[in-house]
Chain A
Amino acid sequence: MTAEATNMPAKARPSLYAIDPRTKRRNAAEKRFRLYGVAAVGFGLLALVVLLSSVLGSGLGAFRQSVLTMQVPLDAAVLDKEGTRDPAAIAKVTTIAYGKLLQDALTAELTEKALLPAGMKPKDVGGMISKEAPAQLRNLVLANPDLIGTTVSFDALANGRIDGFFKGRVTMESAKLDSNVSPEQLELAQAMRDAGLLALKFNPGFIFAPDASELRPEAAGLGVAILGSAYMMLIVLVLSLPIGVAASIYLEEFAPKNRFTDLIEVNIANLAAVPSIVFGILGLAAFINFGGLPQSSSVVGGLVLTLMTLPRIIIPARAALKSVPPSIKDAALGVGASKTQTIFHHVLPLAMPGILTGAIIGLAQALGETAPLLLIGMVAFVRDYPAAPPEGFFDPASAIPVQIYSWTQRADPAFTERASGAIIVLLVFLLVMNSLAVVLRRKFERRW
């Protein structure tokens, strides 16, 4: 190179406007690199769009549900044979009797409005009503025994297949092959919708109702899962934030630098990368088998997630503490503050935005975690709401990601819609938490 360069005759100085080949190459390289960057971001965005559109496309339906509105005569001869209105006697009537009542009521109403197709059996008419509806009617009657003998206007959920028809999941062609619904039922459903007896309504049950069995996907909701997740996040926050902050302050400000603290440091970094299922195994051994805490409860889930979150809070907390300039510490020490005063009056408040951001991101990760919960019995069918805290921490509960996981495994295709709907709810929660972290950082973080 050098020989060549020296042998070359001295060139006339090129014009600044004419770009020489080397600059051209460098410019081209830069352009290429920018393109790579744009392509990478574009690929990421594309993946996001595909994910969101598939989740939203299949999941938004879960927020709306087909509801049948009908007049139900609450026959005293069926619901209260002795006529005593004794709650214990009324409670003896099972949902099977209520199901019959609803079936007769719908058949009567359809006959009256001349909508009932000839030859359709009452059983097929009853099959259009969700199996959840009798339970809802029974609860209504048990709560208001005075209703017996009167006729009430009752909103019953439609069966999952009927609901699927209005959401495009079930078609006339698929119904011909489907052993759970017939084209006649779908035609009747369409006629009922035209007559105003059936409507797609906003479905608050999806957020507030508990899970339901495989026979009634239309009734399944996220209530218990959201409550369980909230309880666990509360436990994680209350435990991991103080422990994490205390550990990071000690390690950053007080601990001597020696082999032992180095070892601790390496272990914290290591724990942050350990697969979360390992914490589930630990939780099973430590909290359930040894500690005797109840299975499937949010307290065990919360403790396991606390263990998992701790290193993920300590690392950003230490970084936040480290980023406070030494001059502030020196100044505080210089005017006679003790080390503890320096830390709590000056360093910690300045590091707080960074610590909180780290904590929120740690919590968001814990919120989306399923694997450790598998082992402590939280991947379960739980229908009763846990009680109010603190007792409720010991009641069985579910969690949002767990609910998604168990819905994807169910046979009825209607649960696919539920699972996607639950993903939307989880994404909303994560989005809120992560934006909160960004806002906190933007608003309070100081740069030096």
Chain B
Amino acid sequence: MKSVKLTVSAVAIVAASASGALARDQIQSAGSSTVLPYATIVAEAFGENFSFPTPVVESGGSGAGRKKLCEGVGENTIDIANSSSRIKQSDIDTCKANGVNEIMEVRFGYDGIVFASDINGKEFAFTPADIYGAIGANVAKDGKVVANTAKTWADVKADFPAQDILMFIPGTKHGTREVFDTKVIEAGCKATGAYDLFLAAAEGDDKAKEKAAVAQCNTLRTDGTSVDIDGDYTETLSRIDANKNAIGVFGLSFYQNNTDKLRVATMDGVMPSVETIAKGEYPVSRPLYFYVKKAHIGVVPGLQEYIDFFVSDDMAGPNGPLAAYGLVPDPELAKTQEMVKNDVAMGPLN
């Protein structure tokens, strides 16, 4: 008898509350774990200073966030997708198919990618060519493609220390890996001349050749010298802690929070910092975006205020809390502010 009563009351509670909670009053966003800290800092400050509820920020990855954004329009879909890489045409097509016709693209700053080793490790001054020479599967040697057999960094470049090569790089599901591949590995591949050799050896028309050569460039060693880390930077850090000879790939903000544990390497002779990345001197950086569903502006309370606040000088400006955490401010922030204020939807990808 008791159980019957309980069931009935349970059903009654659920039914009664379902009718009472229809309108969503807080902003919901999801996406990149790189953007997550920035989004939480803004959400927190927004909740403190405005009369709107604190927005909910979910992580899960850039791609997952964009997919959720494109699920449709309505209360059960998110308002903002955080992304550490630009939206893809396939995402836009999915959005269109589900009735999400207008998306605002907001670039709020840049993020640097740094190479760092244990704080007591040796000092390194890398170029993309060094990284490629260390972990590329095939390298150019005397005008021929040969399998990479370098064991120590001294094998890669004579003035490096004779320390075993071991690199912890972000796994393929990370947005960071994309930047690492294009800005470091492909750049290094081209600089060492391996790209031209791959191109010459490839078959088919020009486009197919190029594609094959890039794919060849991005083939990394599988003999344990380069290890994919699928977890977060905290995992890379603990791996380096356990293996002092290793070199890991981190986001600039993560490094800035752990400067007492990590020694950062220069790239092309430039020390990574908010300033050098803003000036464009440090080569490995990428823009950070968030994408707003325009149909929700004016419907979800506070959405317009939130995105205005996100790109305001108080937050994303050079003296704001985001820069203090490691965001590289966008030099064209004023333009972005204007665009966000007028709710300009993004045009087709170029």
Contacts and interface: CB of A to CB of B under 8 A. Distances in A.
B14 A377 contact: no
Contacts of A408: 234
Interface stretch (B40-48, B136-144, B159-167, B278-286): B40-48
A410 B258 CA distance: 11
B60 A379 contact: yes
A295 B54 contact: no
B60 A409 contact: no
Interface string B30-64: 10010011011101110111010110111110000
A179 interface: yes
Contact of B258 (A344, A389, A391, A411): A411
Interface string A383-399: 11000011101111000
Nearest to B2: A242
B260 A174 contact: yes
A245 interface: yes
A380 B56 contact: yes
B260 A411 contact: no
A282 interface: no
Interface in A262-298: 288-289, 292-296
A344 B53 CA distance: 49
Contacts of B78: 295
B259 interface: yes
A214 B40 contact: yes
Interface in A359-418: 374, 377, 379-384, 389-391, 393-396, 406, 408-413
B17 A379 contact: no
Interface in B52-104: 53-54, 56-60, 75-76, 78
Contact of A381 (B3, B40, B232, B314): B40
B256 interface: yes
Interface in B308-337: 314, 321, 324-325
Contacts of B76: 288-289, 292-295
Interface stretch (B5-13, B123-131, B179-187, B214-222): B5-13
Interface string B250-265: 0001101111110000
Nearest to B30: A377
Contacts of A413: 257-258
B24 interface: yes
A135 interface: yes
A425 interface: no
Interface in A53-111: 91, 94-96
A245 B4 CA distance: 10
A5 B280 CA distance: 94
Contacts of B39: 381
A381 B58 contact: yes
The CB with the most chain A CB atoms within 10 A, among B4, B48, B76, is that of B48
A138 B6 CA distance: 45
A177 B119 CA distance: 9
A213 interface: yes
Contacts of B232: 409
- B-side interface mostly: helix
Contact of A95 (B24, B48, B58): B48
A94 B51 CA distance: 12
Nearest to B74: A292
Q: Chain B contact residues (Cβ within 8 angstroms of A): what range?
A: 35 or more
B158 interface: no
The CB with the most chain B CB atoms within 10 A, among A246, A288, A406, A411, is that of A411
B3 A213 contact: no
Contacts of A179: 256, 259
Given A295-B28, A383-B47, A390 B20 contact: yes
Contact of B14 (A96, A299, A383, A406): A299
Contacts of A384: 26, 47, 53-54
B60 A294 contact: no
Contacts of A212: 44
A394 B24 CA distance: 9
A241 B41 CA distance: 41
Contact of B54 (A175, A177, A383): A383
B16 interface: yes
Contacts of A138: 48-49
A379 B59 contact: yes
Contact of B257 (A91, A377, A411): A411
B234 A411 contact: yes
Nearest to B234: A409
Contacts of A294: 21, 24, 75-76
A410 B232 CA distance: 9
A413 B237 CA distance: 11
Contact of A390 (B17, B36, B37, B260): B17
A96 B321 CA distance: 10
A383 B3 contact: no
Contacts of A243: 7
B43 A177 contact: no
Contacts of A175: 260
Contact of A180 (B6, B14, B26, B257): B257
A178 interface: yes
B28 A214 contact: no
B1 interface: yes
Contacts of B33: 409
B21 A245 contact: no
Interface string A5-19: 000000000000000
Given A239-B10, A299-B14, A381 B20 contact: no
Given A178-B260, A214-B325, A409-B232, A382 B56 contact: yes
A263 to B, nearest CB: 24
A411 B253 contact: yes
B47 A245 contact: no
B290 interface: no
A339 to B, nearest CB: 15
A416 to B, nearest CB: 8
The CB with the most chain A CB atoms within 10 A, among B1, B41, B44, B258, is that of B44
A135 B40 CA distance: 15
A180 B1 CA distance: 63
B168 interface: no
A411 B233 contact: yes
Nearest to B6: A242
Contacts of A246: 3-4, 7
A241 B76 CA distance: 29
A383 B43 contact: yes
A353 to B, nearest CB: 15
Nearest to A374: B60
9 contacts: A94-B314, A170-B260, A180-B259, A215-B325, A288-B76, A295-B76, A380-B56, A384-B54, A409-B232
Given A215-B324, A379-B58, A381-B43, 7 more contacts: A96-B314, A179-B256, A214-B257, A241-B6, A246-B7, A295-B28, A411-B258
A-B residue pairs, 4 tightest by C-beta: A390-B17, A394-B21, A174-B260, A383-B54
